[in-house]
Every structure is written in structure tokens, then in C-alpha cells.
Chains A and B, each alone.
Chain A
Amino acid sequence: NAGVTQTPKFQVLKTGQSMTLQCAQDMNHEYMSWYRQDPGMGLRLIHYSVGAGITDQGEVPNGYNVSRSTTEDFPLRLLSAAPSQTSVYFCASSEDRLNGYTFGSGTRLTVV
């Protein structure tokens, strides 16, 4: 089925470890973005991309890196995990940033 695929679904990290959250879409969408969802905070934008080779920061970019080498993939890297990064992470894509988003099913990350 067409859509946004996120891996892994669950992850536990120790403080200071690094990891990459994967996101892939097969709808040829130009716009892709990463959000984190925390209780009482709603969905907050981390980074976004309007096309291959182009990325920009959102509301809460600190501690995260992204790259967009292809239209399909938009990985999110945590360089040195901190407990404050415990959250549920969602990847979303859209034809462009002003259209409705298709979300992945999320990655639940716990940093201990």
C-alpha cells in the first residue's frame, strides 16, 4: 500500500547513544517533515524538506539532524540522545507544504 513507512516502531536508547529514524514514502511527494508528539504539547515540527537536497529547521530542531538525498527518503538522526528526546516521532509527506499531510505510524523512542 502507498504511504509513509517509518522504522523502527519502538526503540530504547541510553543517554549519549546515536541512532537514525528512517522514513520513506512512495507517493513522489516533494514535501517531507518530522514531528515529535509529547503529552500536552501537541505535534511540534523538528525539520522539514521541500525537495531533494533542501532541508530547513522547524520549531524544535536542536539535537536532531536531517538530510534529503532522494525524494523518497528523509532520515532523522539523533547524534547524542538525551532523556528530553523521549517522545513519539512522526514523519509526514505531502505534495507541497500547503496540502494535507500523510503521516507514518510513528516511532516511540525512550531515552534512559
Chain B
Amino acid sequence: TQLLEQSPQFLSIQEGENLTVYCNSSSVFSSLQWYRQEPGEGPVLLVTVVTGGEVKKLKRLTFQFGDARKDSSLHITAAQPGDTGLYLCAPRYGNQFYFGTGTSLTVIP
């Protein structure tokens, strides 16, 4: 059984600040997806990372896949109130993706 941890669980920052959230697994995974979920809505896919060491950028968001394929991070530069939401990582083990409990981010104007 793999253990999956997202940290921090909650994060509240001022507009314009930078932040990083983490996704750590006890087991190696073959790929990983990041989603953002807004209150009252379903998760929305942000990115899929496949290769160990891979870095992907989506505007102010930078996603990194750890070399050992057991961790990933999401860095947001100059956070904006529109970035507020629950950030979920979903690593793939075998033929199934498993979702973490998420990091709840609040960006204060």
C-alpha cells in the first residue's frame, strides 16, 4: 500500500507572494497529474508529468517531477486571488491514479 502526502495542508498568502506545495509518495509512480478544484466544482486538470526530473511551466505555475519518481512540486510565482483553490496531486500506480487530500490555498488580495 502506497502512502501519499500533500503538504502543506493549508496555505494562506498575500497576493504577489510566491509559494510551493509538495506531493510525496512512499512508492515510485509512473506519472502524475496535478488538478485545481474550486469550491463547489469538480477538479480541473492542470498538467501531467511523465519523466523523472521533468519540469513543466503553465504561465506562473511550474511543476516538477522528482528524479526518483516519488515526489512532485508545484511552484506558483506572484500568486493572484484567482489561484485560490484546492490543489490535488494524483500519482499513477499501475493502471490507476490515486488522489491526495490536497493543499488548500487562499490568496488574499
Contacts and interface: CB of A to CB of B under 8 A. Distances in A.
B100 A42 contact: yes
Given A41-B101, A43-B88, A104 B42 contact: yes
Contacts, number: 43
B54 to A, nearest CB: 16
A98 interface: yes
A102 B46 CA distance: 11
A29 B99 CA distance: 21
Interface in A25-60: 35, 40-45
B52 interface: no
B40 A43 contact: no
A45 to B, nearest CB: 7
A99 B92 CA distance: 10
B67 to A, nearest CB: 22
A90 B44 CA distance: 12
